Structure 1
């Protein structure tokens, strides 16, 4: 057990705390060389203000023609073009049409409008460049030919269901992959902390009944969890004892609750501007990984204890000693 804790300590404290200024300047240089001069200059001026507390980001850069047509945008419009997590093309292509991607403009999100037949990813019906203009793993920049419209509404949104609040186990068909594959996929996608907990804690449980994991990124875990004594409680409140794909989650009505492996702690489902919210935290990356036993969804922050949750140290350890 001590070796596991030491490993987690090394993983957490070796992570980057903030997006470095050098990355922003490098991205601006590449944008300028790629004929996105207006956004290059804008990025140098506003990036640190918009991304003050974000260790990673994806930026959607309008073309020089878009700036010429629309004029210099407001800071709020610029915030609408910043997403506080890195989104490589492989991730963007996984989002289903109609999925919402929260932006740095509070309460506003981008809508995935890519259909299964499209070769190019689109958001709010605006196509992205076929590959990032800049990508260092933490900061990614895509080009777009015009500004996103915050008032955009997609006709592809799913109706909200009147599902009850139970976490019923559902049968799905999928290829049978190993539990280890879920762990490796999480590690490769920037969810090393959750992958480590998953590997140590839940193999037997997942094999028996299936689980759903709501995974914050490594940077979020590092910034929000500093005491080893909190780790078991932190992990268990992010895991639901049944298998729920994205299409299952969106069928739950507002106010539905999902039980977790932390005794007394439930996850409350609501929506804001069409974005699925769990205990106040948006689901950022649906179906990061899934097979016939494990489903993982990325969330933009840790799921904080609310009125229905017990406090750290008062819960029963349902997995035994950590």
Structure 2
């Protein structure tokens, strides 16, 4: 009986001891959930290795700056631009870009796709927000106007990394607030959602054009930015920098003639147009004309205003498509009911003289010159 009583007392003591130890362990700062998380949660120590392993060396080099620039210690989501895109902006601050491309919290792609159109998420840069927009039809997601092309590259429960096409320019101080639309001498603005989308798509287009060798056009679009915001969509026919510097400089002053407003004509749309189809341009009263319809094969490719399209669909997003040209469009006018077979020679000769050194001087409007110009159209 005594032995049994001793065993009961010993068992009671052991149980009490275990309870005390468990209570102390639970209350100990070293093992509390928040403390345990703190051991691993300072994300500057995680960003470097993760971004390096994924190939984002430029961002990885700026990861250490987070230790002094932010107090956030929780999970985060990074929208990571490639090294090549960051190198196109030597004036940009990579540490600041890292903050502006990072938002607190975990946002895998399935969660981003469920956010309301135009949702603004504050970044690690105080007072700077990224705008999230998604196209429900194509399941594409855009952040700050830049497409998320490599979603969910990494997700370990503390860090989510999405690869994006290009990079997001430094955010403005009022990026967390709804932009105020100014009333200039333009027609009433489109719905707010469409306005924001065109704004983001224009920025996306300008960035990609600059990276792709069309920086002069990107600058011209920036100059006409306020006017272009009122468009729903647009089709742009473009010259690259080399062609402009080689003699196509009047393309910039004639840019409005190379933009079809409120129509997004991709390659399949253009190739389906019959001959003599007229396309309106931003230049009041001036139209482009399909002078040769598609279907003629490589010896008779499609031409607009007698100029062959050099690169179809070389840049496009949700609102804008850009096609490459070898030279600016000449202005043409109808001479009879059969179509557009006469070119305003003065305009054409100026354009041709800049591109072909073999043409001697300015051609005069004689009968022999007219046949020469016509042959040149079909030789482009």
Structure 1 length as normaliser, TM-score?
0.39
Relative contact order (C-alpha < 8 Å, sep 6+): which is higher? 1
Q: Which has the higher helix share?
A: 2
Larger Rg: 2
